[in-house]
Amino acid sequence: MPPVLDRDAATPLYVQLTDILREEIERGLWMPDRKIPSENELHRTYGISRMTARQVIAQLVNEGLLYRVQGKGTFVAPNKISTRSPAYAGIREQLEELGYATKTTLLSLEQVPADRAIAKKLKLDDNGPVFSIRRLRSADGVPMSLHESYVPVALAPDLDEHDVIDEQLCVVLKEHYGLTMGRVKETLEIVTASAGTAERLEVRAGAPLLMLQHSIAAPDGRLFEYARITFRGDKVRLHMEYDL
């Protein structure tokens, strides 16, 4: 028997049902990619209006617990990997601690003149030389994130001679150039996948992605890395925790 809604409670029916369905999904009673009951079925099962059922489904879609497929219905979303910002620990390190088999693919590592936007992030003169490093991170064979990092050549003159596939970039910068984190500035926003990014991450063009941008400075104030990390919005959840 499905749980009974308390019609005498102060809590609105749509909130009660949203809580019930959310708990069932989080407990694994509804497996990923399983089709959920339609609005009409929820209406009949719980004795709620179709508008209320629609409101419940919309809320869970907004939370990322459900997804819609046009013409087919609404389904339980795959479980997302919960990671922290790379400022705390490298993405590869976090994935491996969670038990995933990781792979890093080096897409490019080259010395280029910094365009105006990159130069501003690193406080360099326009066209100042930087190393541009592009890597693709996968977990259990599934692309998870696209990493684009920029490091001033003056601070790491032979960076292109080091292994940035098996070694994390932050480790290379620390061990070989003494560049350690003193301050990190981050921004997080939702973006849509361009055709090129969609192909790399194996999503459809226009799919929602999470973009984390960060600028890292050494304790003495020198900015030594600017990065854009684009995560698959359907696979990754960024976890933030602060001590105040």
Beta-sheet pairing, 129-139 with 142-152: antiparallel
Burial of 242 (0-12, 13-18, 19+ CB in 10 A): exposed
Which pair of structure tokens corresponds to residue 43? 């209406």
Domains 13-76 and 81-238 share a fold: no
Could you read off the pLDDT tens digit of each residue along the chain, which spans 244 residues? Answer: 667 788 888 888 889 899 988 888 878 788 888 898 888 898 888 888 999 999 999 888 877 788 888 888 898 887 766 666 665 566 767 676 777 788 889 999 999 999 999 999 999 988 899 999 999 998 888 898 999 999 999 999 999 999 998 888 988 999 999 999 999 898 989 899 999 999 999 988 888 888 989 999 999 999 999 999 998 887 776 666 656 5
Which residues in 98-122 are b (16+ Cβ under 10 Å) and which e?
Answer: eebebbbeeeebeeeebeeebbebb
Classify domain 13-76 at the CATH topology level. Answer: Arc Repressor Mutant, subunit A (1.10.10)
134 and 146 Cβ atoms separated by less than 8 Å: yes
DSSP string, 47-67: T--HHHHHHHHHHHHHTTSEE
CATH number of 81-238: 3.40.1410.10
101 to each of 87, 96, 137, 141, how far by Cα in Å? Answer: 21, 6, 11, 8
Each domain of the chain, given as residue ranges in start order, spans: 13-76, 81-238
